[in-house]
Amino acid sequence: MAAVELRRQTPANAPSPHESPAMATLDFDTLADLLTRIFIRHGVAAEHAALLGRNCATCERDGAHSHGVFRIPGYVASLDAGWIDGQVRPVMEDCAPSFLRVDAANGFAQPALAAARPALLARVARNGVALLAIRRSHHFSALWPDLEPFADQGLVALSMVAGIAGVMPPGARKPVFGTNPIAFATPVAGARPLVFDLATSAMSNGDLRIAAREGRAIPPDSGVDRAGRMTTDPKAVLDGGGLLTFGGYKGASIALMVEILASALTGGQFSAEVDFSTHPGAETPCTGQVIILIDPACGAGAAFADRVATLIAMLREAGQERLPSDRRYANRARAERDGITLDDATHEALTRLAS
């Protein structure tokens, strides 16, 4: 299968004011179905493909474009290279009353979470907290779609995933960390859950690659070259250098914690242990994911969601206009009203991949 590139519109490839690209408008189910067919066509079991198709369409719908259809070529490359097993069934192990382990067995992380969800919810209902440790799993998406449904059910949720080494620890000569995202979700009385979901690198790997392709400088303090010198040249970062964590050594400690909880604790590989050399072209990291659920009724009781709402009201009253997830929910409302738009070239490329 020839590599397929789905380019998102950027300042450099945007049409001139005199031309506008032809756009396709799809409703959520149509896009999810198209993406599901791509996964099936490239070797994923139908029930897992449906989860992945909806996950990717959910990102596109909410304007989380770095993990929407932009990622499909990477999924396809990994599947076609035989790097992921799209058919394998996750294996669940009961470790302790509040601790579940799942071996994704070189499959995707999302089916592993789906398999564990009923047991995980039963554990948190019984014990007040529950931890899910997923290992040998490929996570190539955003984390918020994993967590938001738990907050919708009144739970507080945290998740972390290790990735592919491309981020330098402070003073290091080679990358050790992945972009290692961490996400948090909480119920809010009278409102949608508040969810934040952020990479612990100063910028995302996708944005770094787009800047390199377009010859744009990256912000200062985002990356270093192969000699460890600060650079704003994205090609120097990609050519033996590395990204930096956000917030200097403080962000580096959070990236370190992600490696420990998402990999050492789960039994997955560290970011620096992911080795694509036997499967050229593959892109998805095979590491681990941790999910921690807390039933807030065990703490402040029913007042919890009200207390969070009070805090959010304080933030807004103090002048914080934008809170995490505001942008996504606004995009979601727009997409539900007007549909999800893809430029024609992207829509055609996806349709070809599905057929």
For ligand NDP, the binding residues (CB under 6 A) are 64, 66-67, 139-144, 161, 163, 179, 181, 183, 196-199, 204, 285, 322-328
Concerning whether 67 is annotated as a catalytic residue, the answer is yes
Q: Which is nearer to ligand NDP, 251 or 295 (CB)?
A: 251
Q: Least CB distance from residue 284 to ligand NDP, whole Å?
A: 8
Q: Least CB distance from residue 41 to ligand NDP, whole Å?
A: 23
What is the CB neighbour count within 10 angstroms for residue 246? 19
Catalytic residue among 66, 98, 204, 253: 66
Q: Which is nearer to ligand NDP, 196 or 276 (CB)?
A: 196
Catalytic residue among 207, 222, 271, 343: 207
Q: Least CB distance from residue 251 to ligand NDP, whole Å?
A: 11
Concerning whether 62 is annotated as a catalytic residue, the answer is no
Q: Least CB distance from residue 287 to ligand NDP, whole Å?
A: 8
By beta carbon distance, the residue nearest ligand NDP is: 142
Between CA 87 and CA 330 the distance in angstroms is 36
Question: Residue 31 phi/psi, 5° resolution?
Answer: -65, -45
Q: Which is nearer to ligand NDP, 108 or 295 (CB)?
A: 108
Q: Least CB distance from residue 17 to ligand NDP, whole Å?
A: 27
Q: Which is nearer to ligand NDP, 58 or 179 (CB)?
A: 179
Q: Which is nearer to ligand NDP, 42 or 139 (CB)?
A: 139
What is the CB neighbour count within 10 angstroms for residue 204? 16
Catalytic residue among 42, 67, 139, 347: 67
Concerning whether 204 is annotated as a catalytic residue, the answer is no
Active site (catalytic) residues: 66-67, 207
